[in-house]
Amino acid sequence: MKLLLLYRRRWWLLYLPIVLALALLLAAVTRLWDPLPPRRIVIGTGPAQSSYLQLARTYAARLEHLGLQVDIVTHPRPQDPMQRMVGGDPAIDVAFAQGLYVEQGPGVQALAVVGHEIVWVFARRGVQSLADLRGRSIATSVPDSSNRLAAELLLAHARIPLTEVTLSEQVGEDAIAALAEGDVDAVVHVATGESQTANALARMDQVHILGVDRAGALGARSPHLRALVMPQGSIELRSNLPPADLPTMVTQTHLLVRPGLHPATQRALLDVAGELHVMSGFLEGQGLYPTILGSDYPVSPIALRHAQSLRPWMETLLPYGTAQWVQLVLFAVLPIGLLGALLLLRAPRYIEWRVDAALQHFYGDLKFLEQDLAGITATDPAALRAVLSRLDALERQVADMELPDRYADRWYTLREHLQHARDRLMALRTA
């Protein structure tokens, strides 16, 4: 391309491509390398009466203070959100799940263990131990539910085949009514100490809480259950509930996320978990939760770094939303802007380089011509004519070359050097 045309169209041929390339680079960086966290996340929970729904609402209220909008999606069963995440459904970002479901969900990651839920076993007065459940009717909710899974583990621990018991699907108020009316002999209910169903059953006449014999052995064989002692009077001190220390089992409650969730969002969830679960709950020591120790699910790498107090330093100085924008500007926009400014400032140097290259080409030809001229004598007219022909051609090329006005002085300087060579040649020819 001619230098004059390149100079006249430098805004379209140089500056505009640089600006477009920087814009594409910035878009790629903000979307792929260091994207901003989403403004909205979805928490999946169980049905309306599920304790996880109330927990999700508490999380949503805290997250909205940080600038994150939360949509809560309920499901017929508490394990449904976790199973959707395992199936690769990106519509669910966060869920709560018990350790009993871990074999059904290896594809999700745990941010933290946020508490535990007790495997409550309530029975009528005629049932004094798990072994007495042989031939009895037990309310355990629907198949694949945590109540059913826990009941099957307890029956296997007591060496009672499932064919020797009757498992019914009552749960919640239906289970309370069935136990009160004698339609079932026992209820297995996995829930926290604040569960309305568990509190109602614990205070029911002719009903008592069963302990789990050899609970430590069951916890050793089943990695998703933990042995725990329920102290005497821990439910209600005045009524002395339970009337004695009871060995029981608990399963851990996990805060789960899909692996692709933005790291900043995961850290925000961990901050909220630290605020909500640090206080002791029923049979929970203060400061025990949240934790990543003993998690039944694979732990997120973000949670591992968070446990080591490793997080972007900007998030320790600024609020959540502001920190993300400042990080983006500091580590992406600012470097790209500096690179763009450098390229735009250096773009005119490209034109100068093209002009230098063109002029150096002519100066090189002129140098060879002068070397040949130095070896010619006046007695060799044929050599003089050849050099003169080369000089004429070189002058025509220089005369046809179009340069921007700002380089006119260099063009005239080249013409002067060519004229000097012609003067020498003509002097030699005259001699």
Tokens of 206: 């002719």
Is the predicted pLDDT of residue 179 greater than 80, yes or no? Answer: yes
Asked whether residue 405 is domain-assigned, the answer is: yes
- Cβ neighbours for 236, distance < 8 A, ≥ 6 positions apart: 202, 203
Asked whether residue 319 is domain-assigned, the answer is: no
Residue 301 and residue 203 share a domain: yes
Residue 254 and residue 137 share a domain: yes
pLDDT for res 349: 77
- Mean pLDDT along residues 253-264: 91
Residue 264 and residue 396 share a domain: no
pLDDT level of residue 130 (50, 70, 90 thresholds): very high
pLDDT for res 34: 64
pLDDT for res 385: 80
For residue 424, the tally of other CB atoms under 10 A from its CB is 14
Residue 231 and residue 183 share a domain: yes
Residue 396 and residue 255 share a domain: no
Asked whether residue 32 is domain-assigned, the answer is: no
Residue 236 and residue 297 share a domain: yes
Residue 335 and residue 295 share a domain: no
The 10s digit of each residue's pLDDT in 92-114 is 999 999 988 886 666 789 999 99
Asked whether residue 216 is domain-assigned, the answer is: yes
Residue 168, phi then psi, degrees to nearest 5: -105, 165
The 10s digit of each residue's pLDDT in 378-406 is 667 777 788 778 878 888 877 777 777 77
Residue 353 and residue 255 share a domain: no
Residue 274 and residue 401 share a domain: no
pLDDT for res 1: 47
Asked whether residue 31 is domain-assigned, the answer is: no
The domain total for the chain is 2
Where is the domain boundary, 311, 336, 370?
A: 311
Range of the structural domain that residue 11 is part of: 3-20+328-430
CATH of the domain at 114: 3.40.190.10
- Cβ neighbours for 313, distance < 8 A, ≥ 6 positions apart: none
Residue 113 CA to residue 96 CA, distance in Å, equals 10
Where is the domain boundary, 286, 311, 336?
A: 311
Residue 342 and residue 253 share a domain: no
pLDDT for res 152: 93
Residue pointed to by tokens 């998703």: 224
Asked whether residue 141 is domain-assigned, the answer is: yes
pLDDT level of residue 426 (50, 70, 90 thresholds): confident
Residue 300 and residue 193 share a domain: yes
Asked whether residue 35 is domain-assigned, the answer is: no
Where is the domain boundary, 284, 311, 338?
A: 311
Is the predicted pLDDT of residue 31 greater than 90, yes or no? Answer: no
- Mean pLDDT along residues 132-143: 92
Residue 129 and residue 267 share a domain: yes
The 10s digit of each residue's pLDDT in 279-335 is 778 888 877 889 998 898 999 999 999 888 888 777 777 777 777 778 877 778 888
Asked whether residue 34 is domain-assigned, the answer is: no
